Amino acid sequence: MLRDRFARAIRAAAASLSIPLPDESPDPRLEASKRADLGDFQCNAAMALAKGAGKNPRDVAQAIVAAANSPEIGIEDLAESINAKSIAGPGFINIRLRADLLGALLGRLDSPALGIEPPASPETVVVDLCGVNLAKQMHVGHIRATVIGDAVARMFERLGQRVVRQNHVGDWGLNIAMVVMKVREEAASGRLSLGTLTLGDLDRLYKQAQREASPDKWGLATVREFGLGPKAAAELEEQVGGAEDAIARAKATLVRLQARDPEVEAIWKRIYDLTMADCLANCGRLHASVTAEASAGESSYADELGAVVDDLLARGIAEPSEGAVVVRVEGIAEPCLIRKSDGGFLYATTDIAAIRRRVQRLGAARVVYCVDIRQSLHFRQVFGAAIKAGYARVAEPEKQRPERDAVLQHAAFGMILGEDGTPFKTRSGENVRLADFIDEAVERGRAIVRAKSPDLPEEEAARIGEVAGIAAIKYADLSGDRTRDYVFSMDKLITFEGDTGPYLLYALVRVKGIFRQAAEAGSLPSDEALAAAPIRITEPSEKALALHLLTYPAVLAGAAESCEPHRVCAFAYELASLYSSFYDACPVLKAGDEATRLSRLRLCALTGRVLGDALQSVGIPTLERM
Ligand code: ARG
């Protein structure tokens, strides 16, 4: 509201001083004031305006103030008197909101939707998350693609968009065929039985297959060059030959898999089911919504790839290059390879087909990819190729909007580091299994809850501890700028102090606790009385809390737009600390008069609802009691 009024005041002031304005709606450069004693906001537009026109900035500020007070603009319903004394320094205009305005705005925020109005026509947002690979245990690296992806999906859901999650499972290609082949051979030789196969077996066989298929050509060349003797050469020759043989067998398996040969497919399906059961269990424990229905693996695109490449070739979008097929994307030096010279398709081909399906079939106006930052080039290429091909074009004939492409966003994330600053690993240098990692967080959460509240019944302590542990690791993953690597420390996260998940859960429980206290004292107002109580903002700490609460809808919308859950986390943390300053400074249940008591109780209730909503909007599970 202020921005709109001040934009109009600036236009009027510019007209009166004959300053030409390049822009119909000038930016009033409004900022939250850094000095609460001077005002709540500042309008910083006068300086730039004066500079361009060679005028005195204080005169320009004066003209803006005069225009703001004119009957046409009438700022007095929003701000307390703005006059010559409001102008500071070279021409800043200090603005103090009217006290009754804040109360009225909070009253409006205090609706079931918390000021977040559903869009007139919801958009479909596809969120690509999790992205596990077949036959491999999920490790700690997968937590980011799952937790950040789920948070992004939840934010859009909260804003009223139609969200479709897509778990782009790595379940196709030569690597997968290699494991299928390995399992088939092991089963045939009686070394394992399909019925009792575990994900642990698969993980081991996957690595073994990889090793067997890596020809040490470089080693062989070295042996020959440096004349390291016939024995070494013979050994390596055998290994190279073996690898070539393994690759040839894997390729044959892939061909059978692609032809849906029942025997090979049954093994593949068994591997798929084992991997997905583990994946969905981990996601469930992380309180992240990833389901079997929301999983569309690479295999689901396999039959479309040939047609995609043919289509792109036919329309001149793709071109042959040394026997292979590539798409050249403007501004990217590396061409995007979509078919190898041996006819095989690539990760990129599948992702181009996926964009086509997501936009054309699922109706996405936006597709967000929560994937490791090291895949940035891949996504730039794939987005560029899909747009060039017209696959990302949004069809909205009914909306009479100009044609446009879906928004394709790579919500990239950095690595998790151990406390020594190198990638997070176990002591023996292995990747940390996600399941073990979750176990440890839950165990630690339970330990701290037991230590803090020894009187809680065991079952309840276990449940609360689990939520605290999960909230801790999720909050740690969500609260930093996602593009940065972050150092992970269980000790620093699973504590009730500082910027941590458990602290925020506790803050929320404390806000709600005041209503339990009121109930125990027999002075709990009815819901109707509370909802009807006018909110009166008088104390500075109340005002700071009120101003922050009012930013919630815009914070959430902005965080979703840029796929940055950390902005919601920062909002929640700041809200908790402003609440605690308010609580220290302003008596609530013991307020001097009934009107103040009700006003403050309503402010507490609103704070609790907004805090809970913020945490849930990014997927942090909350608690009623701790
Ligand atoms: N499975 C892939 C990996 O482990 C992640 C998939 C990401 N999503 C996508 N559409 N490419 O790297």
- The last residue of one of the domains, among 259, 292, 321, is 259
Residue 19 counted as domain residue = yes
What is the structure's pLDDT at 494? 86
Q: How far is CA 166 from CA 35, 369, 415, 616, in A?
A: 46, 9, 22, 20
**How far away, in angstroms, is 129 Cα from ligand 1 center?**
8
Residue 434 counted as domain residue = no
Token reading at 338: 């979509």
Report the C-alpha gap between 21 and 10 in whole angstroms: 9
Token reading at 363: 């109706």
Please, are residues 492 and 466 in contact by the beta-carbon 8 Å criterion? no
Please, are residues 556 and 159 in contact by the beta-carbon 8 Å criterion? yes
Q: How far is CA 607 from CA 79, 580, 624, in A?
A: 24, 11, 15
What residue ranges in 393-436 does DSSP mark as E strands? 393-394, 404-405, 407-410, 416-417
- The last residue of one of the domains, among 67, 97, 127, is 97
Show the domain range for 182: 174-259
Taking each helix axis as running N to C, give the angle between helix 565-585 and helix 552-561, from 0 to 180 degrees, rounded to the nearest 10. Answer: 160
611 and 524 in a single domain? The answer is yes
Report the C-alpha gap between 14 and 50 in whole angstroms: 9
How much of the chain, in percent, has pLDDT values that exceed 70? 99
Report the C-alpha gap between 369 and 167 in whole angstroms: 10
Residue 384 counted as domain residue = no
187 and 87 in a single domain? The answer is no
What is the structure's pLDDT at 242? 81
What is the phi/psi pair of residue 287, to 5°?
60, 40
| End-to-end C-alpha distance for the chain, whole angstroms | 40
What is the structure's pLDDT at 402? 66
**How far away, in angstroms, is 351 Cα from ligand 1 center?**
9
Tally the C-alpha atoms within 13 A of residue 261's C-alpha that lie toward its C-beta. 13
Report the C-alpha gap between 19 and 67 in whole angstroms: 14
What is the structure's pLDDT at 401? 63
Does residue 168 have its Cβ closer than 6 Å to ligand 1?
yes
**How far away, in angstroms, is 346 Cα from ligand 1 center?**
12
**How far away, in angstroms, is 350 Cα from ligand 1 center?**
10
Token reading at 572: 């929640």
What is the structure's pLDDT at 396? 67
39-65 pLDDT tens trace: 999 999 999 899 888 999 999 999 999
Collapsed DSSP state (helix, strand, coil) of residue 383: helix
Report the C-alpha gap between 111 and 197 in whole angstroms: 53
Residue 268 has pLDDT above 90, yes or no: yes
Residue 127 is inside which H or E element, if any?
strand 124-129
Long-range contacts of 521-529 (CB under 8 A, 24+ apart): 521/589, 523/589, 525/598, 525/601, 529/598
What is the structure's pLDDT at 616? 98
479 confidence band (pLDDT: 50, 70, 90)? very high
Collapsed DSSP state (helix, strand, coil) of residue 296: coil
Collapsed DSSP state (helix, strand, coil) of residue 393: strand
- Residue minimizing CA distance to atom 2 of ligand 1: 131
Residue 615 has pLDDT above 90, yes or no: yes
In the predicted model, what is the mean pLDDT of residues 111-125? 95
What is the structure's pLDDT at 611? 98
534-559 pLDDT tens trace: 999 999 999 999 999 999 999 999 99
Residue 62 counted as domain residue = yes
Residue 32 is inside which H or E element, if any?
strand 30-32
What is the structure's pLDDT at 398? 63
Residue 564 counted as domain residue = yes
In the predicted model, what is the mean pLDDT of residues 172-182? 93
Token reading at 373: 């930052």
Q: Hey, which of 371, 379, 413 would you mutate to test ligand 1's pocket, going by the most ligand atoms within 8 Å of its Cβ?
A: 371
Stretch among 303-317, 401-415, 473-487 having the lowest mean pLDDT: 401-415
How much of the chain, in percent, has pLDDT values that exceed 90? 81
Does residue 128 have its Cβ closer than 6 Å to ligand 1?
yes
- The last residue of one of the domains, among 203, 229, 259, is 259
271 confidence band (pLDDT: 50, 70, 90)? very high
**How far away, in angstroms, is 171 Cα from ligand 1 center?**
10
Contacts of 383 (CB under 8 A, 6+ apart): 355, 392, 408, 410
352-400 pLDDT tens trace: 999 999 999 999 999 999 999 999 999 999 999 999 999 999 976 666 5
Mean pLDDT score of the chain: 93
Residue 102 counted as domain residue = no
413 confidence band (pLDDT: 50, 70, 90)? very high
Report the C-alpha gap between 221 and 217 in whole angstroms: 6
Token reading at 336: 């995007």
CATH of the domain at 17: 3.30.1360.70
In the predicted model, what is the mean pLDDT of residues 511-521? 94
589-603 pLDDT tens trace: 999 999 999 999 999
How many domains, the chain? 3
Closest-lying ligand 1 atom to the alpha carbon of residue 351: 10
Cβ neighbours, 10 Å, residue 567: 20
Residue 326 has pLDDT above 70, yes or no: yes
Does residue 8 have its Cβ closer than 6 Å to ligand 1?
no
192-223 pLDDT tens trace: 998 899 999 999 998 888 888 887 777 777 77
Closest-lying ligand 1 atom to the alpha carbon of residue 169: 1
Specify the pTM.
0.92
Does residue 446 have its Cβ closer than 6 Å to ligand 1?
no
CATH of the domain at 546: 1.10.730.10
Report the C-alpha gap between 98 and 103 in whole angstroms: 9
Report the C-alpha gap between 57 and 49 in whole angstroms: 8
Residue 141 counted as domain residue = no
- Residue minimizing CA distance to atom 7 of ligand 1: 131
Q: Specify the pairing of strand 393-394 against strand 162-167.
A: unpaired
Stretch among 17-26, 88-97, 278-287 having the lowest mean pLDDT: 17-26
Cβ neighbours, 10 Å, residue 247: 17
What is the structure's pLDDT at 400? 59
**How far away, in angstroms, is 340 Cα from ligand 1 center?**
20
Please, are residues 435 and 282 in contact by the beta-carbon 8 Å criterion? yes
Please, are residues 136 and 429 in contact by the beta-carbon 8 Å criterion? no
Residue 419 has pLDDT above 80, yes or no: yes
Residue 103 has pLDDT above 90, yes or no: yes
What is the structure's pLDDT at 240? 80
Report the C-alpha gap between 49 and 55 in whole angstroms: 8
What is the structure's pLDDT at 21? 87
**How far away, in angstroms, is 203 Cα from ligand 1 center?**
18
Residue 139 counted as domain residue = no
Helix residue spans in 286-412 (DSSP H)? 305-314, 347-356, 376-389
Q: Exposed/middle/buried for 564, CB within 10 Å: 0-12, 13-18, 19+?
A: buried
Sign of dihedral through CA atoms 119, 535, 572, 41?
Answer: positive
What is the structure's pLDDT at 545? 97
> What letter does residue 133 receive in the DSSP assignment?
B
